[in-house]
Structure 1
């Protein structure tokens, strides 16, 4: 099925496939989280310290591949269509998981992780697909659907990976491979093309490389401002995977089970927000106000995480408030994509993913070092929540920038003479 996408049932089927694609991508990534470190420990003959160093190298390499190849895949989708890139990425991811399941040495496993970073960049193409087929006034809800897929994948993936890994550390890779290949086969029959030939643009390396893609964002100051807000938001988000487990263990004495339950609760709350609340809230308040509200809730949520005096308040107030931060991303994507022509949506989403790669490279060091500094015995002020307070400040700065950028847009619209003036 390669005809351009129509409205009605075909569009709903295509959007369902995109949801499933992103869900399976995140589910597969989540499944290998509990087992990849154990595989590395096995390759290192039980040397946990050396395995931890290698795991850091693996994570950095994955983020670097996201940075380099997201604009490439985005530009390819602008030239050849979204369908081909998404399906080929699914096939590539499936074959890559087979490689990692079979890998006899650390070198082969590292090669597989490199390929995983490249193929995972297809998520940016899925975002471009949403922008293609969704009217601008409903686009935030479409991106909320992607956020819901992320939430479900991150809730189910690590738990399922832990269960399968208890049987065999390589079994999660085989299951992930099967899911990715089955998804590609399913998409071959149900996924139509979203970008018609007349809206495509030639592939140029000047815009496909990450530096060129990011530099092109300067052409539109308003989009550049919104992208900067998006970057600050994602940099703040890195505080959660970087120090959440360390903080919870240090502050409240939580074990793996307690951390897992908290993360599952957080994922479920995020699913409710992005899957059920984004559409009616955006419809009532508009994308600009929804974006602002999301940033405020994120800053308040981080503050509760940092200062909550008890686990009950941390979970009972912090997790629900933090989930409301989920209003930001769909509204932000809706605002940005409405200002990008259809022929450049893929390249734009690739540039955004490159920025996420930069945040992924910067964030862990920033927040882990802040945490280490704040809990050092010689400090006069002992504040283990300092990384979360730092993230809250980043969100408040993003809020101020977003207010300025979007206000200028509103004022321009209000003061521009109409066609009869």
Structure 2
């Protein structure tokens, strides 16, 4: 049986620095899209308004209307986009809960670094799909890929625990909380700052340019 050897202080610092940066980038990719949800979904809804065949978006709205009908007080249709955004967030979280044990098993068998690399590659693929999502099904696909590959937080906690002793474990795990705080505060600030520098989000022009690629 191999005895665990804690890393040297220099190696531990490098591991935690890499871990913090990867976790922060992962959380920023999650938070930056949140303010865009209503505008994106409203765009897809307007895009499909001329379609005659059933679409994934219309089917989803039909289920949401059934959900709204279950309440004793009627819910205005102007909240449909908000409910759809909540449903998309719930889908992401459900898939994350489904994939977390699998990613954890991979990390135990193949190592934390391998599992972290796979998770980060999945996150990158999710963002790339989102960038080229010119319709609602593609956007949903990006959220599915992102949810299934979202394991950075669990892996970060596991790695931080592995490289820590009982004396500094609390301070090490606090880095995870710091990454969350930065992502959910500065991430929204970064989005708003970049939005202020943009005159208008012309989705039609973006869609046209992507189809020309």
Task: Establish whether residue 123 from structure 1 lines up as the match of residue 153 from structure 2.
Answer: yes
For 1:64, the equivalent position in structure 2 comes to: 94
Q: Which runs of 5+ in 1 are unaligned?
A: 172-421
Q: Which runs of 5+ in 2 are unaligned?
A: 48-76, 204-213
Spell out, residue by residue over 1:105-147, the C-alpha distance to the aligned partner (whole angstroms, 9 max, x if none).
1111011111112222221011110111111221111111111
For 1:36, the equivalent position in structure 2 comes to: 37
Alpha-carbon spacing, 1:42–1:99, altered in 2? closer, same or farther (3 Å): same
Alpha-carbon spacing, 1:28–1:15, altered in 2? closer, same or farther (3 Å): same
Task: Establish whether residue 138 from structure 1 lines up as the match of residue 139 from structure 2.
Answer: no
| Structure number, greater radius of gyration | 1
Q: Is the 8 A contact 1:37 1:51 kept in 2?
A: yes
Shift of 1:52: 2.2
Shift of 1:160: 1.0
Q: Is the 8 A contact 2:116 2:151 kept in 1?
A: no
Alpha-carbon spacing, 1:170–1:140, altered in 2? closer, same or farther (3 Å): farther
CA distance in 1 between counterparts of 2:139 and 2:40 reads 9
Alpha-carbon spacing, 1:65–1:139, altered in 2? closer, same or farther (3 Å): same
For 1:15, the equivalent position in structure 2 comes to: 16
For 1:88, the equivalent position in structure 2 comes to: 118
Shift of 1:165: 4.0
Task: Establish whether residue 45 from structure 1 lines up as the match of residue 75 from structure 2.
Answer: no
- Give secondary structure in 2 for the equivalent of 1:6: coil
For 2:28, the equivalent position in structure 1 comes to: 27
Alignment of 1:248-327 (within 5 A): none
TM-score, normalization by structure 2 = 0.72
Spell out, residue by residue over 1:238-267, the C-alpha distance to the aligned partner (whole angstroms, 9 max, x if none).
xxxxxxxxxxxxxxxxxxxxxxxxxxxxxx
For 1:315, the equivalent position in structure 2 comes to: none
Task: Establish whether residue 164 from structure 1 lines up as the match of residue 165 from structure 2.
Answer: no
- Give secondary structure in 2 for the equivalent of 1:94: helix
Q: Is the 8 A contact 1:44 1:50 kept in 2?
A: no
TM-score, normalization by structure 1 = 0.38
Return the structure number with greater helix share.
1
